[in-house]
Structure 1
Amino acid sequence: MALGAAVLAAVLVATACSGPSGNARSATVGASGDGVLKVGLLLDNSGAQGFLNDSEQAAAKLAVSQINVSGGLNSKPVELLPATPGADTTSQATTLAAAKADVVIGPTDSSNAAAAIRVLSKARIVLISPANSAPGLRNAASGGYYFRTQPAYTMQGQVLAKLAADIGPRIAVLHESGSYGSQISRAIAEALKETGPEAGAGTHAGMGTVVADAQANPGAEGDAVREVQNARFDAVIVVARGGGQLLLAKLANAGIPGSKLVLSDGATGDYGTGLASAALKGAKGVLPGIFPTADFQKQLLAHTPGLKDMTFAAETYDAVMLAALAATAADDDAGSSIAARLVSVSGGSGAGDNGGKTTSGTPCTGYPDCSELLARKQSIDYDGISGPINFDQNGDITAANYVSYSYGSDNRPAMSGTEKATAP
């Protein structure tokens, strides 16, 4: 989940003042754990978002159960520490640190990252968020203890550009004001510019051209829509979150058909009767991740009967698996050892592998297969339920999957395919 520019600035200032020095992702460390891998959950969702706690908790339980069925870490069961869903982030982090957690999964909201990093990195506890998407968090001063299995929201720029170019080469971007809109708009422009062979000196033949970059300021959305109308576009990319429905309604009122529209993750939703009939017919939308397979859903429901939503479940499951595999690779459960191996077991490059050495690993899925390779002293590349992951030296994933959706006459999205994006 994202956060605004002002909050992000506070995050970076807060973490810069409190995190340990150095970079645990590239450190050479010795064993210092107590022999038992302890996993904590920081479940920061409350109110209308409280349902997200259930899916994250279910996925963590499933992952820990599967690891323990396979023998745990060095024949000792992995422990999933008690959680306090919805409690204050700082108090949750403090409680988990006191319980000697080695790794904590969470938080969901990017605006809570600072508080969690401040407490946990000081205690040298790895923090892996399954949901933080604010791009600026890659610069959070965690001392190398912060990772995330969710892509920064700017990575979708490549996918949005491709889907729009499939409609036609002249692309208009209509984005809300604020960091989310402006940063994704820039990512779209970069994706269009960098794709395709060079056409000659001073020119670049990409897959499309941005013919309008219209910012929809509050109260002036109509002006932005008129700017788009005048641009002789083939496709319109709508980048919005809370104001998405208003922008889509104004586009429909302007006579722009749904078949010309591509919606960012924040704008992709079930609008139903909230928009005029068939306003979005033919529109495309995207959401990060991969729709859970039937087998994964079945396993989740077996551990948590009645689970109604699986948002961030795959990312949470992968976070736990990666932490266990990093501990297995290090033959140690300490947070510092896990942080030093997470990049390498994910198949990433840069810092990692205990001293910054990384090699191309053997692709594997699931704890039994991956841990067997590690037991044979082979490097691994864990391919997760959520995607390939491949952490970089900042703890960000460098390869991400997106689900694409198509809208029908009822203004409701239906899954239509998958797309991939890689970090620039």
Structure 2
Amino acid sequence: MISLSPAAPRLAKLTALSVGVAFLATACGGTSTPSSTETTTAPAGAISCPAGDGAGASKSAAAAPSGAVPASTTTSPEPLKIGSLLPTTGNLAFLGPPEIAGVELAKKEINAAGGVLGKPVEVTHRDSGDTKTDIATQSTTALLGMGVNAIVGAASSSVSKTVINQITGAGVVHFSPANTSPDFTTWDDKGLYWRTAPSDVLQGKVLGNFMATCGAQTVGMIVLNDAYGTGLAKNVKAAFEAAGGQVVAEELYNTGDTQFSSQIDKVVAAKPDAIVLISFDEAKSILPLITGKGVKSGQLFLVDGNTSDYSKVLQPGTMTGAHGTFPGTFAAEAFTKELLAVDPALKDFTYGGESYDAVNLIALAAESAKSVKGVDIAAKLKEVSLGGEKCTTYPSCVTLLRNGKDIDYDGQSGPVTFSDAGDPTEAYIGIYEYTAENTLKPVKSEFGKL
């Protein structure tokens, strides 16, 4: 098993992406909702997307080993303290509840198994907000003042960029369940930044290839002008063009914008076969405006920042046949039930598994390091993710550790194998299709290596 020191090199570059994409067939054309005042010619919409049978890699939480979990042979004078920096306000607030539920579920299971190094894990939640505010900096300052050893969050790559130096500079592990910007791969983070969400190189590859398999030859894009939006757009474009397609329009908008008519008109006027919307919560305003121009919903393709349940906010049929992608396997029914037990109001489960895995990995690394210090935890995170005996829950993994075994944690987000840069080296991207009720049904989960 490889041991990683805190000073391990962090400038590892992404290797060539290898993604095998295999799809089955079904119709993808959706209904349209033209406006009576339509002034722009809509795309033709003659595309037909392949689809799977809803199958995808997922796992139920593995049962805890028979018998009691052995007590740690080393006890810590201080408990492991984890802060969460996850959105309860701002344009990614819909991601906060499942992520917070994942953190809480992991904490519950860890403490039921005796905690970490003989003490219960303590978790403090703080709002990350978005880039329109300074909430993330204030929350980070508060968490660091409480003496946390690790911070889980933020969901937004742009928000994480505002606090990563503050967190890692304090010797604290910065662990995001949802950051996908490739920029973090080469960030000078002192070995303290980690994530369970894969780089957008992978999501861009899957989405670009999927649109090509739908028969789209031209694509228009409406993109949030931040690190997440432009980075993902770059990778979607590269994959689509490599598949023989052409991006005929690409319009940007900024965080906080409330008017999108200009961008929509320019993209629709280019008459693309498909339209990609890379946004956050602004999608609630943008989507009905696009379909109001006569664009068929089956021509719409969304991403992890906006692939959500729109049943309560959009008219029925608005999203029929649209597709979206986001990292992770299709959540196992048993796991979603456990998340619902934590938060019965959950409607969206995006990044719940990644958040659960982040907390488990931090706890297991602390057990392996026999220390709750951030630098010591970081030194063991790669080690607990590969090379040993497979396990998928804290009780099963910590039992192995306390019996002197090496472990290889694979979690609810799929296989977790870290690079020296703190990135997952392999992951799944789920492809979803919208129903007439504007809810999601799984199509296919694609596996790729980075």
Q: TM-score, normalised by structure 1?
A: 0.72
Q: 2:276 is matched with which residue?
A: 238
Q: 1:79 is matched with which residue?
A: 121
Alpha-carbon spacing, 1:228–1:398, altered in 2? closer, same or farther (3 Å): farther
- 1:325 Cα offset (Å): 1.2
Q: Which runs of 5+ in 1 are unaligned?
A: 1-21, 194-205, 230-234, 348-359
Alpha-carbon spacing, 1:291–1:337, altered in 2? closer, same or farther (3 Å): same
C-alpha deviations, 1:307-345, integer Å up to 9, x for none? 565443322211110011112222322211110111222
Aligned residues of 1:148 and 1:397 also touching (Cα < 8 A): yes
Q: 2:246 is matched with which residue?
A: 211
Aligned length: 368
2:409 paired with 1:382: yes
Q: Which runs of 5+ in 2 are unaligned?
A: 10-73, 130-134, 253-259
Alpha-carbon spacing, 1:103–1:184, altered in 2? closer, same or farther (3 Å): closer
Determine which of 113, 119, 136 is the counterpart of 1:70. Answer: 113
What one-letter code is carried by the residue in structure 2 that aligns with 1:36?
A: P
Aligned residues of 1:390 and 1:399 also touching (Cα < 8 A): yes
- 1:23 Cα offset (Å): 7.5
Q: 1:6 is matched with which residue?
A: none
What one-letter code is carried by the residue in structure 2 that aligns with 1:297?
A: T
What one-letter code is carried by the residue in structure 2 that aligns with 1:398?
A: T
Q: 1:145 is matched with which residue?
A: 192
Q: 1:331 is matched with which residue?
A: 370
Higher alpha-carbon deviation: 325-334 or 307-316 = 307-316
Determine which of 412, 420, 423 is the counterpart of 2:446. Answer: 420
- Secondary structure of residue in 2 paired with 1:422: strand
- Secondary structure of residue in 2 paired with 1:216: strand
CA distance in structure 2 between the partners assigned to 1:191 and 1:139 by the alignment:
22
CA distance in structure 2 between the partners assigned to 1:271 and 1:61 by the alignment:
26
Alpha-carbon spacing, 1:222–1:302, altered in 2? closer, same or farther (3 Å): closer
Equivalences for residues 175-186 of structure 1 within 5 A: 175-176=222-223, 178-179=225-226, 180-186=228-234
Q: 2:235 is matched with which residue?
A: 187
Q: Which has the higher contact order (CA 8 A, sep 6+)?
A: 2
Aligned residues of 1:171 and 1:209 also touching (Cα < 8 A): no
CA distance in structure 1 between the partners assigned to 2:345 and 2:298 by the alignment:
37
C-alpha deviations, 1:67-108, integer Å up to 9, x for none? 23223334x023214445469433433343343322222223
Higher alpha-carbon deviation: 80-89 or 290-299 = 80-89
Aligned residues of 1:34 and 1:334 also touching (Cα < 8 A): no
Alpha-carbon spacing, 1:185–1:344, altered in 2? closer, same or farther (3 Å): same
Higher alpha-carbon deviation: 262-271 or 124-133 = 262-271
Identity percentage of aligned residues: 31
Q: 2:66 is matched with which residue?
A: none
- 1:209 Cα offset (Å): 1.0
Alpha-carbon spacing, 1:90–1:73, altered in 2? closer, same or farther (3 Å): same
Equivalences for residues 107-122 of structure 1 within 5 A: 107-122=154-169
Alpha-carbon spacing, 1:300–1:277, altered in 2? closer, same or farther (3 Å): closer
Q: 1:158 is matched with which residue?
A: 205
Alpha-carbon spacing, 1:273–1:145, altered in 2? closer, same or farther (3 Å): closer
- 1:271 Cα offset (Å): 5.5
Q: 1:61 is matched with which residue?
A: 104
- Secondary structure of residue in 1 paired with 2:165: helix
CA distance in structure 1 between the partners assigned to 2:80 and 2:358 by the alignment:
14
Equivalences for residues 25-36 of structure 1 within 5 A: 26=8, 34=77, 36=79
What one-letter code is carried by the residue in structure 2 that aligns with 1:24?
A: P
2:430 paired with 1:395: no
Aligned residues of 1:56 and 1:313 also touching (Cα < 8 A): yes
C-alpha deviations, 1:152-202, integer Å up to 9, x for none? 344311221232233237353434373555433431344357xxxxxxxxx
C-alpha deviations, 1:349-378, integer Å up to 9, x for none? xxxxxxxxxxx3333201122223334544
Aligned residues of 2:128 and 2:159 also touching (Cα < 8 A): no
Q: 2:177 is matched with which residue?
A: 130
2:357 paired with 1:318: yes
Alpha-carbon spacing, 1:186–1:81, altered in 2? closer, same or farther (3 Å): closer
What one-letter code is carried by the residue in structure 1 that aligns with 2:409?
A: Y
CA distance in structure 2 between the partners assigned to 1:187 and 1:37 by the alignment:
38
Determine which of 316, 323, 336 is the counterpart of 1:297. Answer: 336
Q: 1:404 is matched with which residue?
A: 431
CA distance in structure 2 between the partners assigned to 1:246 and 1:304 by the alignment:
27
Q: 2:301 is matched with which residue?
A: 262
Q: 1:3 is matched with which residue?
A: none
Q: TM-score, normalised by structure 2?
A: 0.68
Higher alpha-carbon deviation: 287-296 or 305-314 = 305-314
Alpha-carbon spacing, 1:305–1:220, altered in 2? closer, same or farther (3 Å): closer
- 1:149 Cα offset (Å): 2.0
Say what the alpha-carbon RMSD is for the aligned residues: 3.7
Decide which structure has greater helix share: 1
CA distance in structure 2 between the partners assigned to 1:373 and 1:136 by the alignment:
35
What one-letter code is carried by the residue in structure 2 that aligns with 1:129?
A: S
CA distance in structure 2 between the partners assigned to 1:422 and 1:62 by the alignment:
27
Alpha-carbon spacing, 1:307–1:340, altered in 2? closer, same or farther (3 Å): same
C-alpha deviations, 1:233-271, integer Å up to 9, x for none? xx5251332665777667656765444443333453556
